């Protein structure tokens, strides 16, 4: 392709990286995808996806067949490098400090193939200052090149941050239509990055500095987390007071300036359940509301488990065989197969450990149970679960579940965390 970017290297071919690579390839850009997962690389080169995303299968086949996208496990030279790798917690289960190991590994992997004039963009959601760290790692690996944190506008390599802001299930549309915040380590870095994104993005591309761009993504997800926490706290209050929280929210939202979100079993996914902690870890004394929201949402699964324990006890008191429990949904949001940071998966896993041999799972978007459940539960169809189970725990509002009538069976216990069965209007 003619122009300032003859080729792009997408570092990381997961839920963000692969759709992003495909979107650029659809615009005729020569894209090389880089990933450590050799199985995923092989599938992509056959035109097959390893993730579920509407429309991605067909689009991937087309760009691979056209020769605009291929994948590799070995870094290659390119004009721009986009890094989209995970940023989990440093010590999973022990704290909430961000782990930039994957980002550092990605940066150091591409360092040997950098040349003067290249652009490096960090797309991974990261704590404030991470883009500067990327520039530092690259500079350590390539002392023969200059970088913006030391040489400013005169640097050989441009470095920027452009956080993704897409909704899984709508990736191919939102990658094109959504506005992008582009933060450069210098003005020239931001401008060059904006020129790259305008090859594919129809939304506005707004330039700022890297730290503001990093904080923008964390702020967006913290805002959503705080509002979800309000809804989840309302559900706890209403449960104590004997009020249907879904009816309450429906009525309150008739106020022209009120828009309360829907409660659930917690908050999951690779963004909202993680990103607010990045702010808290850096400024713990100031981020009081953000911390409180995270704690409310992180503790909501315990409330769901307590409801199940109560239902099990009531079933036992009525006599008969031990209760069979069906968990409806494992994904972190409806109509996708993504289980990352999913409260539904955490709840189902805990129940399977607490009630061995008594737990079944209904999840229409997976073909096999994840390792945490593989030997502890069964994957059933909805009709099988309705016939055989005594306690139904609705955890994800998949469209398949919304289409079902409210289950009715003598002695059946319904624990509906999404308001599908028990939250309907009177």
* Residues 6+ positions from 59 with CB-CB distance below 8 Å: 22, 26, 172
CA-CA distances (angstroms) from residue 413 to 265, 275, 307, 407, 424? 17, 35, 10, 10, 17
The sign one gets for the Cα dihedral 16, 87, 32, 140 is positive
Q: What are the beta bridge partners of residue 182?
A: 207
Active site residue 205: no
E strands of 149-203, at which residues?
158-161, 180-184
Which tokens is 121 given? 């963009």
Quote the CA–CA distance of 124 and 147 in Å, as a whole number.
20
The continuous run of DSSP H or E covering 373 comes out as helix 371-374
Q: Which of 9, 189, 217, 300 is catalytic?
A: 217
Looking up tokens 């994904």, which residue turns up? 331
For residues 34 and 129, the answer to whether their CB atoms sit within 8 Å is no
Nearest residue to 144 (alpha-carbon basis) of 187, 186, 113? 113
Quote the CA–CA distance of 43 and 2 in Å, as a whole number.
29
Active site residue 115: no
Quote the CA–CA distance of 320 and 332 in Å, as a whole number.
34
For residues 344 and 396, the answer to whether their CB atoms sit within 8 Å is yes
Q: Which of 9, 162, 205, 271 is catalytic?
A: 271
Catalytic positions, please?
Answer: 217, 271
């Amino acid at each position: 392709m003619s122009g300032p970017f003859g080729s792009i290297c997408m570092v990381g071919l997961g839920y963000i990286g692969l759709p992003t690579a495909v979107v650029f390839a659809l615009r005729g850009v020569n894209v090389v995808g880089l990933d450590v997962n050799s199985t995923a690389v092989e599938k992509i080169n056959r035109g097959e996806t390893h993730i579920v995303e509407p429309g991605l299968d067909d689009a991937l086949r087309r760009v691979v067949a056209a020769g605009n996208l291929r994948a590799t496990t070995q870094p290659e030279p390119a004009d721009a490098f986009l890094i989209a790798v995970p940023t989990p917690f440093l010590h999973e289960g022990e704290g909430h400090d961000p782990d930039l190991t994957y980002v550092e590994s990605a940066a150091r992997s591409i360092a040997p193939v950098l040349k003067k004039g290249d652009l490096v963009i960090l797309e991974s959601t990261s704590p404030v200052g991470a883009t500067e760290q990327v520039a530092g790692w690259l500079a350590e690996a390539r002392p023969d090149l200059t970088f913006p944190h030391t040489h400013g506008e005169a640097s050989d390599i441009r470095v920027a941050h452009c956080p993704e802001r897409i909704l899984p299930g709508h990736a191919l549309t939102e990658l094109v239509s959504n506005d992008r915040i582009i933060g450069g380590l210098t003005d020239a870095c931001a401008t060059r990055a904006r020129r790259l994104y305008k090859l594919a993005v129809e939304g506005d591309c707004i330039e700022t500095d890297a730290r503001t761009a990093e904080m923008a993504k964390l702020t967006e997800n913290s805002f959503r987390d705080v509002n979800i926490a309000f809804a989840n706290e309302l559900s706890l209050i209403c449960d104590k007071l004997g009020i249907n929280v879904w009816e309450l929210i429906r009525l309150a939202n008739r106020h022209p300036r009120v828009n309360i979100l829907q409660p659930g079993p917690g908050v999951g996914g690779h963004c909202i359940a993680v990103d607010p902690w990045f702010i808290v870890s850096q400024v713990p004394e100031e981020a009081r509301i953000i911390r409180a929201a995270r704690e409310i949402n992180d503790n909501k699964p315990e409330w769901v488990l307590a409801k199940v324990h109560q239902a099990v006890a009531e079933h036992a008191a009525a006599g008969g065989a031990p209760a069979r429990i069906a968990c409806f949904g494992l994904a972190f949001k409806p109509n996708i197969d993504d289980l990352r940071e999913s409260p539904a998966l955490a709840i189902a896993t805990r129940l399977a450990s607490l009630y061995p041999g008594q737990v079944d799972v209904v999840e229409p978007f997976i073909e096999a149970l994840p390792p945490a459940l593989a030997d502890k539960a069964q994957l059933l169809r909805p009709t099988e679960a309705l016939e055989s189970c005594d306690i139904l725990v609705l955890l994800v509002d998949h469209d398949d579940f919304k289409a079902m009538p409210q289950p009715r069976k003598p002695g059946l216990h319904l624990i509906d965390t999404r308001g599908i069965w028990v939250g309907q209007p009177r």
